[in-house]
């Protein structure tokens, strides 16, 4: 049996918060503080019909009780850009000729004079020695 204050489930495009489905549950508590009671009721109906996340529903129902008891929505804009979205990446590369490393030639196979070749410590060297020395 439906509750008397239950309303029709709004479409995603009618929700008072943009990208509601992508907001993390921890952020939602702060974002819904900007909503009035009818807007919050829309979100509750949508959440109950779709994801039904208990934590989210509990937070929204608690906020509904606060609004019904006389609390006012905060002054924020519910349509503002989400702070959860990372900023667009900077274009271009910060690497320049002044910040690049030295040019290194590929090592040659087994040339001991090549500075790019690893050297043994002298103990247990793999270089061949004449027998008996």
User: Which of 40-49, 90-99, 107-116 holds the top average pLDDT?
Assistant: 40-49
Domain boundaries, the chain: 12-68
74: Cα within 13 Å, side-chain hemisphere: 10
Reply yes or no on whether the pLDDT at 63 is more than 90.
Answer: yes
Cα separation of 24 and 39, whole Å? 19
Average pLDDT of the residues in 37-57: 91
Rounded to whole angstroms, what are the CA distances from 20 to 10, 32, 39, 49, 73?
12, 10, 12, 14, 18
Cα separation of 63 and 50, whole Å? 20
Average pLDDT of the residues in 13-37: 84
Mean pLDDT of the chain: 74
Region of poorest pLDDT, from 1-5, 72-76, 98-102: 1-5
For residue 46, name the pLDDT band (cuts at 50, 70, 90). Answer: very high
Tally Cβ neighbours within 10 Å of residue 14.
Answer: 9
According to the model, what pLDDT value does residue 1 have?
A: 41
């Amino acid at each position: 049996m439906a509750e008397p204050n239950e309303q029709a489930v709004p479409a995603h495009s009618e929700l008072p918060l943009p990208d509601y489905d992508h907001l993390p549950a921890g952020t939602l508590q702060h974002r819904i503080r900007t909503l009035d009671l009818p807007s919050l009721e829309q979100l509750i109906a949508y959440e109950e019909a779709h994801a039904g996340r208990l934590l989210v529903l509990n937070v929204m129902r608690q906020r509904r009780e606060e609004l019904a008891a006389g609390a006012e929505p905060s002054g924020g804009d519910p349509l503002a850009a989400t702070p959860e979205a990372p900023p667009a990446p900077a274009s271009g590369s910060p690497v320049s000729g002044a910040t690049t490393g030295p040019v290194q030639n590929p090592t040659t196979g087994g040339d001991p004079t090549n500075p790019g070749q690893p050297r043994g410590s002298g103990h247990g060297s793999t270089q061949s020695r004449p027998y008996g020395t």
